[in-house]
Amino acid sequence: EDKVVQSPLSLVVHEGDTVTLNCSYEVTNFRSLLWYKQEKKAPTFLFMLTSSGIEKKSGRLSSILDKKELSSILNITATQTGDSAIYLCACASGNTGKLIFGQGTTLQVKP
């Protein structure tokens, strides 16, 4: 059965800290890995990763995929209170648009 596991499940840091969120997967016919940020309701898209070892960056956020280790990390540097959210990792597989999500990491950034 396809599985996506995120760690840690929750994390509390202070503004200015750097955090690393982890995502590991066991997915048949893996195609891509996506990261989303969910603050209230709608998950908002952050990154899509398809190639191993190529870092994607957007401002203070960056992510990289390791297909050998079947994992990905999401880094957030110089955290701000606005980074407080649930971060979701998902994998696309097979020949449909089905995304398989992990359970999410809840990040709380304290002032």
Partner 1 sequence: DAGVTQSPTHLIKTRGQHVTLRCSPISGHKSVSWYQQVLGQGPQFIFQYYEKEERGRGNFPDRFSARQFPNYSSELNVNALLLGDSALYLCASSWAMGGEGTDTQYFGPGTRLTVL
Nearer to partner 1, 17 or 86 (CB): 86
DSSP secondary structure string for all residues of 30-69: EEEEEEEEESSSSEEEEEEE-STT--EEETTEEEEEETTT
- If one asks whether residue 44 binds partner 1 (CB under 8 A), the answer comes out as yes
- If one asks whether residue 104 binds partner 1 (CB under 8 A), the answer comes out as yes
Please state the closest distance from residue 64 (CB atom) to partner 1, in A: 17
Q: Tokens for 92?
A: 């696309």
The number of beta carbons lying within 10 Å of the beta carbon of residue 13 is 16
- If one asks whether residue 48 binds partner 1 (CB under 8 A), the answer comes out as yes
Please state the closest distance from residue 18 (CB atom) to partner 1, in A: 24
Q: Which residues contact 51 (CB under 8 A, 6 or more apart)?
A: 65
What is the spatial distance between Cα 45 and Cα 64, in angstroms, rounded to a whole number? 15
Pattern 52-91, binding to partner 1, x per CB under 8 A? ------------------------------------x-x-
Residues near partner 1 (CB under 8 A): 4, 31-32, 34, 36, 41-45, 48, 50, 88, 90, 92, 95-104
